[in-house]
């Protein structure tokens, strides 16, 4: 049975087609369609073809004439047989044609993941579906598919959606995740696996953050965060609002990948492979943006109401705190609590900014409980703003036993950092020579006759992005807790003497002082700290 209904609603001409359109009924159907369309000749046309079973060339001619009369035309809910005809004849290139989507129910299904934009349900042993919060999510689905493919090409293990479905009034993406278990479930059910989870979690995070993304392929999180800071000016005292804006604006652009919603519900163990899911928040930016989001997931959201993390991630706040602390230690390659706290505080500034803005935009100031939560976060944020003068940090910090056998580990860290900063090869060789001299000095003498730890941190800053002259500055800092010793206090050797009058040794520190642009020493908190600076 052929039935055509239509109406004009909200500036659109809505037409429903059903049955068959062929040469026998095409003229009558065209007359009915044109009569409906002529009631609003300037409006776009949307044709719902959910019940259209067949269309011949005569029917295609009708659709073409409607398209010519209304340039903005969409055909929705097209079954596979009709879609094939439209695609074969080029109609899918001439107009927007959307396939019909099969219906999937998630009633009673297990929730295995949850992110900012949707919830992931297991619909059977092999498959999961991500249901989007946005009811009109087709563009979101297309975006997530594109960024997931990009991530996979760049070496990040993830699942690619193979189908789009309707779930209630929204849409969903279907993925194959055979017998997968989230890290949240592993931590909740097997607490003895916490250290394993931390190791896998951080190793994948480092892989993500070391992945450089072609310019323009992903959103820039820095620009998004600047808009957060602009929003916050209205809700902070003037001085603190201005400082927050300056701190976030001073974070340099970074083309390395960040996930944007990296928590234990978004890592899935399938077989012996760890997969990252919920890829719609993928972006580029400095790691501080990632750590701010991670802090929120494990601690920030639950600072006022400690039950939130249990409801969200499936384990209690104490477990979340331990996981977060161990994650920072492994990510930063250090057990130095002072450094860990400094970077955690930088992350908290970003995290609180995001939390406060999110709650205010959701009406939090009108709810007494939510307002108390906002007040707590705001108080913490203001306190941190009085202490922190930069949100920038580098993850290029390692802690090793002060042994010459570990020299290669130290120089590899420096070399990879200098290469990624496009440091000229000649300068790389000079800097590596200085690094070797200082580390070997610590290994030979700092803890004699015992042993101890040595920490090395390397930072590279674009001077023009920090308001300075054009170029870059590399800063390398060595720290040890050995006996107090200032190598710079040693008198320089007289390099003009002939060989017979020269003493053997003593040239290492001399070389360092001549190779580097600045070398400084200080003794703080029972630690020797030597800092070397080179401009290029």
- Look at residue 465 in the predicted model and tell me its pLDDT: 44
Residue 189, C-beta contacts closer than 8 angstroms, at least 6 positions apart: none
Residue linked to tokens 């978004």: 266
Cβ contacts of 439 within 8 Å, gap of 6 or more: 402, 406, 407, 410, 454, 456, 478
Residue 422: Cβ-neighbour burial (10 angstroms; 0-12, 13-18, 19+): exposed
At residue 103, the pLDDT reads 87
Q: Please, what is the angle between helix 368-385 and helix 238-249, to 10°? A: 70
| 481: Cβ contacts below 8 Å, ≥ 6 apart | 452, 453, 526, 527, 528
Average pLDDT, the chain: 89
pLDDT in tens, 5-42: 888 888 889 999 999 888 888 888 888 888 888 888 88
Query: Using CA atoms, how far apart are residues 32 and 218, in angstroms rounded to an integer?
Result: 46
Mean pLDDT over residues 273-277, rounded?
91
User: pLDDT digit string (tens) for 201-257?
Assistant: 998 998 898 788 998 999 999 999 999 999 999 999 999 999 999 999 999 888 889
The mean pLDDT of 321-335, rounded to a whole number, is 90
Average pLDDT over residues 310-330: 95
Mean pLDDT of 368-375: 96
DSSP code for 234: T
Q: Is 273 helix (H, G, I), strand (E, B) or coil?
A: strand
- With 60 as the cut, is the pLDDT of residue 469 above it? no
pLDDT beyond 50 at 466: no
**Omega within 30 of 0 (cis) for the link into 449:** yes
Q: What is the pLDDT of residues 58-111, one digit of tens each?
A: 889 889 888 888 889 999 889 888 988 998 898 988 889 988 888 899 999 988
Whole-number percent of the chain with pLDDT over 90: 50
CA distance 430 to 418: 11
Q: Please state, in angstroms and rounded to a whole number, the distance separating the CA atoms of residues 253 and 419.
A: 18
- Looking at the predicted structure, is the pLDDT value of residue 491 above 90? no
Spatial distance between the Cα atoms of 121 and 174, rounded to a whole number of angstroms: 10
Confidence check: pLDDT of 501 > 60: no
Residue 276 has pLDDT above 60, yes or no: yes
**What is the average per-residue pLDDT within 138-163?**
87
The better pLDDT of the pair 533, 145 is held by 533
Is residue 397 exposed (0-12), middle (13-18) or buried (19+ Cβ within 10 Å)? buried
Lookup result for tokens 């992903």 = 218
Two structure tokens written together for 446: 């700092």
Q: Where is average pLDDT lowest: 122-131, 191-200, 362-371, 428-437?
A: 122-131
Q: How confident is the model at residue 504 (pLDDT cuts 50, 70, 90)?
A: very low
Secondary structure (H, E, C), 447-497: CCCCCCEEEEEEEEEECHHHCCCCCEEEEEEEEECCCCCCHHHCCCCCCCC
Higher pLDDT among residues 165 and 316, named by residue: 316
Q: Which domains does the chain have, with CATH numbers?
A: 5-99 (3.30.750.24), 110-176 (3.30.200.20), 190-385 (3.90.1200.10), 397-535 (3.30.565.10)
Percent of the chain scored above 70 by pLDDT? 95
Q: Which residue has the tokens 């919603």?
A: 261
pLDDT at 313 over 80: yes
How far apart CA 411 and CA 87 sit, in angstroms, is 58
Cα–Cα nearest to 98, from 139, 62, 149? 139
pTM above 0.75, yes or no: no
Supply the pLDDT for residue 2.
66
CA atoms of 228 and 513, how far apart (whole Å): 44
């Amino acid at each position: 049975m052929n039935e055509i209904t239509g109406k004009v609603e909200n500036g659109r001409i809505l037409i429903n087609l059903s049955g068959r359109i062929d040469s026998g009924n095409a003229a009558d159907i065209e007359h009915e369609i044109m009569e409906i369309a002529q009631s609003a000749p300037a409006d776009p046309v949307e044709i719902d073809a959910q019940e259209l079973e067949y269309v011949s060339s005569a029917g295609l001619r009708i659709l073409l004439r409607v398209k010519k009369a209304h340039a903005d035309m969409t055909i929705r809910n097209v079954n596979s047989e009709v879609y094939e005809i439209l695609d074969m004849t080029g109609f899918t290139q001439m107009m927007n044609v959307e396939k019909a989507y099969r219906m999937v129910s998630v009633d009673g299904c297990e929730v295995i993941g949850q992110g900012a934009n949707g919830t992931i349900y297991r619909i059977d042993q092999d498959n999961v579906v991500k249901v989007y919060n946005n009811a009109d999510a087709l563009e979101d689905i297309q975006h997530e598919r594109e960024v997931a493919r990009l991530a996979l090409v760049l070496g990040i293990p993830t699942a690619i959606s193979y189908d789009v479905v309707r779930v209630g009034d929204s849409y969903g993406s279907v993925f194959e995740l055979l017998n997968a278990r989230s890290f949240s479930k592993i931590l909740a059910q097997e607490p003895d696996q916490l250290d394993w989870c931390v190791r896998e979690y951080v190793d994948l995070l480092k892989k993500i953050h070391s992945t450089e993304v072609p310019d323009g392929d992903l959103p820039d999180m820095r620009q998004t965060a600047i808009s957060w800071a602009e929003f916050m000016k209205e809700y902070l005292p003037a001085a603190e609002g201005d400082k927050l804006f300056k701190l976030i604006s001073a974070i340099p652009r970074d083309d390395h990948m960040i996930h944007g919603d990296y928590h234990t519900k978004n890592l899935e163990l399938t077989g012996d492979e760890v997969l990252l899911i919920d890829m719609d928040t993928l972006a580029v930016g400095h790691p501080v943006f990632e750590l701010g989001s991670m802090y929120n997931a494990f601690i920030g959201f639950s600072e006022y109401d400690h039950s939130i993390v249990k409801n969200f991630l499936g384990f209690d706040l104490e477990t979340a705190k331990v996981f977060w602390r161990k994650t920072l230690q492994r990510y930063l390659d250090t057990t130095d609590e002072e450094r860990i706290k400094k970077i955690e505080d930088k992350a908290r500034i970003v995290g609180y900014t995001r939390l406060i803005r999110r709650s205010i935009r959701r009406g939090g100031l009108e709810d007494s409980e939510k307002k108390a939560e906002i007040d707590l976060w705001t108080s913490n944020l203001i306190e941190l703003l009085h202490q922190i003068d930069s949100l920038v940090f580098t993850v290029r910090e390692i802690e090793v036993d002060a042994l010459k056998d570990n020299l290669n580990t130290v120089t590899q860290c420096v070399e990879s950092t200098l290469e990624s900063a496009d440091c000229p090869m000649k300068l790389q060789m000079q800097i590596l020579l200085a690094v070797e001299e200082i580390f070997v000095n610590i290994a030979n003498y700092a803890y004699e006759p015992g042993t101890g730890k040595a920490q090395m941190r390397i930072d590279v800053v674009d001077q023009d992005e920090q308001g300075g002259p054009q170029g870059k500055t590399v800063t390398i800092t060595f720290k040890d807790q050995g006996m107090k010793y200032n190598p710079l206090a040693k008198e320089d050797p007289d390099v003009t003497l002939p060989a017979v009058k020269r003493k053997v040794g003593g040239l290492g520190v001399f070389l360092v002082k001549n190779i580097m642009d600045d070398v400084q020493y200080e003794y703080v908190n029972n630690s020797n700290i030597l800092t070397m600076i080179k401009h290029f």
